Amino acid sequence: MTMRIHIVLITALIFWTCQDSKSSDTAEEKDSALYSTDGVLTNISERVYNDDESVQAYSEFSWKSDGSNRILNGNGIPNHEVGTFPNAHNPNTISEQNVSKRFTLTPSIVSENGVALGGPAGAIAYAINSVKFDPATAGRCDDAGNCSLARGQGNWSIEALGHNTFDFGDDMNHAHVQPTGAYHYHGMPELLIDLLGQDMSMTLVGWASDGFPVYARYGYKEANDSNSGIVSMKPSWRLKSSPDANRPSTVVQLSGGPNQGNSSPNTPIAMGAFTQDFEYVEGSGDLDRCNGRIGVTPEFPNGIYYYMVTDDFPFFSRCLRGDLSS
């Protein structure tokens, strides 16, 4: 599939930090600090036509500042190539959204374990192009193995990525389309990263709803040393050694999505298909429970708390540690 993008208007994405590089505070000392993100991506806009056969629409977004808040206005249309939608496993068509969000310019950490967000509770983050990150799904299974990919019932939450038991029709950007027409990322936005042209470096791809920045895949080996080299960030979540009690081992019935009923009775449900198949092991990776950490970045050389999109579960944060009240 090819795509021709005609750039109509773009304000250069030049990242600047307003922080004093001579500050004596280390990143570790700032766990409860009030950070400032003012001056970083606070005056950018873009309007490009995406003639991918599944889009055929303008992608529009702008990020501005009113001095206290970062203000996003956009239409949620991706500015890069996407997969085919509708498809056999996702019947929805990409359409424009009304994205109007505000993010504090002075985020602070207020929760040790984070507050769950996403889905009906609200978008957990937005990418630079105004496409939202929404890593969880509405798919559920009950203890007997009756499963639904949409508005399901039961205690077992189906994951969109990392297994082959259930198929949500996601594309090369680990994204698909909700019934509302909202294209959204469940994991690594590969072609957005390519568009930003960062390659193997720390790439700022968006902002979380609590005001902290979001980076993709790579970070510094030592959190507070920008000269320590770039590595792929490892989450601190791991697959459990054995399934939980009452976990269904097979799909008895599949409903609520495209091709419903296509799963044969007694289809095995692989470990990793459910959110509950994973456990957090503090210190086992580079990141905390919310897939974030405190450290220096190209935009914040004195350190900041930031979230990571990772190649492994949880792929993106399922919780936010910052203050959501502002």
Q: What is the pLDDT of residues 200-222, one digit of tens each?
A: 899 999 999 999 999 999 999 99
**Can you give the pLDDT at residue 181?**
97
User: Residue 231 pLDDT > 80, yes or no?
Assistant: yes
Beta bridge partners of 306: 293
Task: Give 148: exposed, middle or buried? Use CB within 10 Å, 0-12, 13-18, 19+.
Answer: buried
Task: Give 298: exposed, middle or buried? Use CB within 10 Å, 0-12, 13-18, 19+.
Answer: middle
Q: How many whole angstroms separate alpha carbon 307 and alpha carbon 305?
A: 7
Average pLDDT over every residue of 230-253: 96
Beta bridge partners of 59: 48
Residue 225: how many other CB atoms lie within 10 Å? 12
CA distances from 4 to 56, 80, 87, 93 (A): 10, 9, 22, 20
How many domains does the chain fold into? 1
Task: Give 91: exposed, middle or buried? Use CB within 10 Å, 0-12, 13-18, 19+.
Answer: middle
Classify residue 25: in a domain, yes or no: no
Beta bridge partners of 66: none
Q: What is the DSSP string of 2-56?
A: ---EEEEEE--------S-TT----SGGGTTPBP--TTSS-SEEEEEEE--TTT-
**Can you give the pLDDT at residue 280?**
98
Q: How many whole angstroms separate alpha carbon 326 and alpha carbon 34?
A: 13
Classify residue 145: in a domain, yes or no: no
Closest CA to 83 of 155, 17, 172: 172
**Can you give the pLDDT at residue 34?**
85
Q: Which helix (H) or strand (E) holds 240?
A: none
User: Residue 132 pLDDT > 80, yes or no?
Assistant: yes
Q: Are 216 and 133 in contact (CB under 8 A)?
A: no
Which residues form the domain of 287?
Answer: 5-17+30-135+167-234+283-312
Classify residue 100: in a domain, yes or no: yes
β pairing state of 146-148 and 225-232:
unpaired
pTM of the complete model: 0.89
Give the torsion sign (CA, 183, 203, 310, 280): negative
**Can you give the pLDDT at residue 255?**
83
User: Per-residue confidence at 262, pLDDT binned at 50, 70, 90?
Assistant: low
Q: How many whole angstroms separate alpha carbon 165 and alpha carbon 93?
A: 24
User: Per-residue confidence at 16, pLDDT binned at 50, 70, 90?
Assistant: very low
**Can you give the pLDDT at residue 200?**
86
Classify residue 89: in a domain, yes or no: yes
Classify residue 276: in a domain, yes or no: no
How much of the chain, in percent, has pLDDT values that exceed 70?
A: 85
**Can you give the pLDDT at residue 17?**
33
Classify residue 144: in a domain, yes or no: no
Give the tokens for residue 59. 């992608």
Q: What is the pLDDT of residues 277-307, one digit of tens each?
A: 999 999 999 999 999 999 999 999 999 999 9
Q: How many whole angstroms separate alpha carbon 35 and alpha carbon 130?
A: 23
Give the tokens for residue 188. 């690594």
Classify residue 293: in a domain, yes or no: yes
Q: Are 220 and 197 in contact (CB under 8 A)?
A: no
Classify residue 262: in a domain, yes or no: no
